[in-house]
Amino acid sequence: MEWFVLFMLVAIGFVLLILEFLVFPGVNVAGILGFACIAGAIWLAYSTMGTTVGHFTLLGTAVCGFGVTWYALRAKTWRRMQLNTQIDSTVEGVDETIREGDVGITQGRLAPMGKVRVGDSVVEAESRSGFVDENRDVVVLKVYKNKIIVKLKTE
């Protein structure tokens, strides 16, 4: 029975340490409990089974600890857990027909960002004139890939 308890304490301790390193980094509860289980197993081996079994338990947990650390720090282990997908999509950009100097009308309030209709396209716009109310004429100052810069049209 003591062997089973000893083995389970060591196994639970190593599982908690692996969880601390790989799943709950920075929490420290699993790591502390893992070290406590391993220390309790070593103490149990020395106190109930004698010094020879205690030495072997200490040596075995040290070797297993180095082995688990080596396995966890290998590059292959981390490559299996990292995200390897690549984003190949692009942002839907501003219509190429919109040019600097075009006149548009605000679809909503530009505060200072909002929607502007220029020709047949509705695009995201940034106002250089501060807040611009709805249904006001604006002039395109600059065209970027994902937005346009506008100012309030002066008559």
Do 129 and 140 contact (CB within 8 A), yes or no?
Answer: no
Q: What does the pLDDT read at residue 59?
A: 95
What pLDDT does 60 receive?
92
Residue 116 exposed, middle or buried by CB count within 10 Å (0-12, 13-18, 19+): buried
Q: Report, in this order, helix, strand and coil percent for the chain, each rounded to 5.
A: 45, 20, 35
- From the list 13, 112, 120, the residue with the least C-alpha distance to 62 is 13
pTM summary value: 0.50
Which parts of the chain register pLDDT below 70?
A: 75, 77, 91, 155
**What is the structure's pLDDT at 2?**
82
Quote the pLDDT of residue 75: 66
Fold of 103-152: OB fold (Dihydrolipoamide Acetyltransferase, E2P) (2.40.50)
Closest CA to 78 of 2, 136, 25, 6: 25
Domain spans, the chain: 2-81, 103-152
Give the per-residue pLDDT at 47: 92
Look at residue 155 in the predicted model and tell me its pLDDT: 54
Report cis status (omega within 30 of 0) of the bond before 112: yes
Q: How far is residue 10's CA from residue 63's CA, in Å, rounded to a whole number?
A: 12
